[in-house]
Amino acid sequence: MADKTIMLVCASGMSTSLLVSKMRKAAEEKGVDAEIFAVSASDADANLAAKDVDILLLGPQVKYMLKEFQAKLADTNVKVDVINMQDYGMMKGEKVLTEALAAIA
């Protein structure tokens, strides 16, 4: 099992796949043992129930769900944040990874 589990949530689960690839590559280069995966907003609850997630990152297109997830996860140790729109658009995997790891440190 990975030391850190990072779940990205977007509208369909597809648009974040490239960002996930870049984050995985950055984690490997930094020697970080992390499970990084993306799911659609509709599959988020099932994945939260099935996996021990450290941080849930919302894609900019679903940032309106921030309060909903914060409320759902208030009694857990799961952090919730929104991926910066510019970093998402530019697919800056290393930066998104660094910020996620800082949030759960």
Assign 105 a pLDDT band (cuts: 50, 70, 90): confident
Entry pTM: 0.95
- Expressed as residue numbers, the domain containing 75 is 4-104
Q: Indicate if 10 belongs to the active site.
A: yes
Q: Give the count of domains, the chain.
A: 1
Task: Write the DSSP assignment of 29-54 as a string of letters.
Answer: HHT--EEEEEEEGGGHHHHHHHS--S
pLDDT, tens only, 9-50: 999 867 789 999 999 999 999 999 999 999 999 999 999 999
Phi, psi torsion values for 94, nearest 5 degrees: -65, -45
Which domain CATH number covers 99?
3.40.50.2300
Decide: 56 and 73 in contact? Cβ < 8 Å: yes
Cβ atoms < 10 Å from Cβ of 92: 19
- Cα–Cα distance measured from residue 83 to residue 91, given in angstroms and rounded to the nearest whole number: 10
Q: Which member of 6, 7, 10, 19 is catalytic?
A: 10
